[in-house]
Structure 1
Amino acid sequence: MISAEDLARLLETREDIRVLDVRWALLGPSGRDEYAAGHLPGAVYVDLETELARPGAPEDGRHPLPAIDDLQAAARRWGIHDDDTVVVYDDLSLMSAARAWWLLRHAGHRNVLLLDGALAAWRKAGLPLVTGEQPDPPIGTAHLSYGSLGTIDADTAAAIAHTGILLDARAAARYRGETEPVDPRAGHIPGAVSAPTTDTLADDGRFLPADQLRAQFESLGVRPMRPIGVYCGSGVTAAHEIAALTIAGFVPYLYPGSWSQWSNLPDRPVETGDSARGGFGGFTGASVGL
């Protein structure tokens, strides 16, 4: 994490800071208009749908990971070099920015930070915004390769639900199967535990303190010696929960296909209703689990 004030100082004193604006909304338009209306100085707009994911068949999920060559080409378009510090933000308490944070770390980029409090914190600090489209930055030279973080597939997710703990980061209503706005079946992976990632946030949209996050995850059954898997609707907000678990000192695995893949595989069973261990209370902001 990095605070708005610390980022502002770095932008004034260092030339190796790259800022990515990852505004996006499920079932909403591109965030480019919001970016043009006001963004951090030097920030490059990143399109989640086309740059942080690739097209795929329904059984691949809604946001399959991009091919590594495509992600590397995008990172170079964003002006990133291997030793740069990358800061990512959005206007949704980092729910979409965490996808870029996780993906770049998984691809081996060492210095990737989340803007604590997202765009709201920058505005609250009274720091300047820039309007309009920015000139393309000079092409970077980043070298990326997947494998730095752990991922799981559908088979492993099913196993972890019984041998470890599998956290469902979507809203509780989607977990219970009461509503399903985008995917073909409602419910959750059998054995998964409801843990809405919005519950990891304080009222101001920042992550809760590390000790509080750890206590909350432990209340759900998360333990350091048990494998921890995380999924959401399509692998976007699950990355946000991965960030919260990382802050709390755990080492989780992301299921990139998430519910959008599982629900498109007819041989995969589905559960509805509450789990034996429910989610935890906290931030009351809306999220359907992207």
Structure 2
Amino acid sequence: MDPLIAPTVLAELLAVPDPAQRPVVLDVRWRLTGPPARPDHDAAHLPGAVFLDMDSDLADPPGPAGRHPLPSPARLQSALRRAGVRDDSLVVAHDDAQGVQAARTWWLLRWAGFAAGRVAVLDGGYRAWVEAGLPTTDEPSRPLPGDVTVRPGGMPVLDADEAAALARSGVLLDARAPERYRGEFEPVDPKAGHIPGAVNAPATDVLGPDGRWLAPAPLAARLAGLAGPGAGDVGAYCGSGATAAALVLAMEHAGLRPPERPIGLYVGSWSNWSADPGRPVAVGTEQ
């Protein structure tokens, strides 16, 4: 299965008679600033969807490792089991930002041992579901406890030294907005700028004007110049390792990287890099 799923296709899968054959839907709406997203879920969500919090369920507490460090296997396993995830589940994650945030959950599940084809992102997110006229509810979801076992290591993870080396010897993509890459604006982290040698590839560029992900062919055309099949080793980072996961997904969706050879994710990202006073910082368009 493609890493993206259309709202109408998800609706069909959720309508199968056997509840055990239905996908597990994870609502991972999240905001960098402003009020938390949990009240939005409580007010209206996809039938059966379970809310998981980016900060407390899908990451360990912030610290030197970054703002969204990898969750411990025990933390992630507990959250997924509460959501009803089984070892044989098909899991679909969605947010309200066209899937750029939900891609981090897709990546986490792949890291946790889910095979390609067992986890997907809802194309267009919650907004697309509503726009398609599909049902929502405010009734709390009460899934049966899951039995999933988290098996870390399914996706390549980069640390700061590996990201720095990759920026010199391969391709390191910076998924943040251009003004953050250039160091003109930094809303949360200690220093502004980017990792020397990194190339700016805003995660929002994987989307079309309608807020949906680009189809594979135009997406491949957009990304091939940055990290095509002949680019060698490729990695990605962002502010805290969340939106950069969208580039990992995009490479697979576009056919530029097969599921068995995904690009590496620097999970600590800029929040980890900029917290170390010994790390160099580039600004402007310099690489």
Write out aligned runs for 1:187-198 (5 A).
Answer: 187-198=193-204
1:46 paired with 2:52, answer yes
RMSD over aligned CA atoms reads 1.3
Output the CA distance in 2 between the equivalents of 1:95 and 1:6: 19
The match for 2:13 among 10, 34, 45 is 10
> Deviation of residue 135 (structure 1)?
4.2
1:270 paired with 2:272, answer no
Q: Provide structure 2 residue ranges, at least 5 long, that are not aligned to the other structure.
A: none
Q: Which residue matches 1:286?
A: none
Q: Which residue matches 2:167?
A: 161
Output the CA distance in 2 between the equivalents of 1:196 and 1:107: 26
Output the CA distance in 2 between the equivalents of 1:108 and 1:30: 29
Q: Tell me the secondary structure at the aligned position of residue 55 of structure 2.
A: helix
Q: Provide structure 1 residue ranges, at least 5 long, that are not aligned to the other structure.
A: 277-290
The match for 1:205 among 198, 208, 211 is 211
Output the CA distance in 1 between the equivalents of 2:95 and 2:226: 28
- What amino acid sits opposite 2:273 in the alignment? W
Q: Which residue matches 2:186?
A: 180
The match for 1:34 among 17, 21, 40 is 40
Q: In 2, are the aligned partners of 1:89 and 1:115 still within 8 Å (CA)? A: yes
Q: In 1, are the aligned partners of 2:90 and 2:119 still within 8 Å (CA)? A: yes
- What amino acid sits opposite 2:158 in the alignment? I
Q: Give TM-score, length-normalised by structure 2.
A: 0.92
Q: Tell me the secondary structure at the aligned position of residue 8 of structure 2.
A: helix
Write out aligned runs for 1:107-118 (5 A).
Answer: 107-110=112-115, 111-118=118-125
Q: Which residue matches 1:260?
A: 271
Q: In 2, are the aligned partners of 1:107 and 1:147 still within 8 Å (CA)? A: yes
Q: In 1, are the aligned partners of 2:28 and 2:93 still within 8 Å (CA)? A: yes
- 1:74-118 per-residue CA deviation (whole Å, 9 max, x = no partner) reads 110000111111111111111221111110111002311111111
Output the CA distance in 2 between the equivalents of 1:255 and 1:203: 28
Sequence identity of aligned pairs in percent? 50
1:126 paired with 2:133, answer yes
Write out aligned runs for 1:76-115 (5 A).
Answer: 76-110=81-115, 111-115=118-122
> Deviation of residue 63 (structure 1)?
0.6
- 1:216-269 per-residue CA deviation (whole Å, 9 max, x = no partner) reads 122225444511100000001011121111112222110000000000011110
> Deviation of residue 128 (structure 1)?
0.6
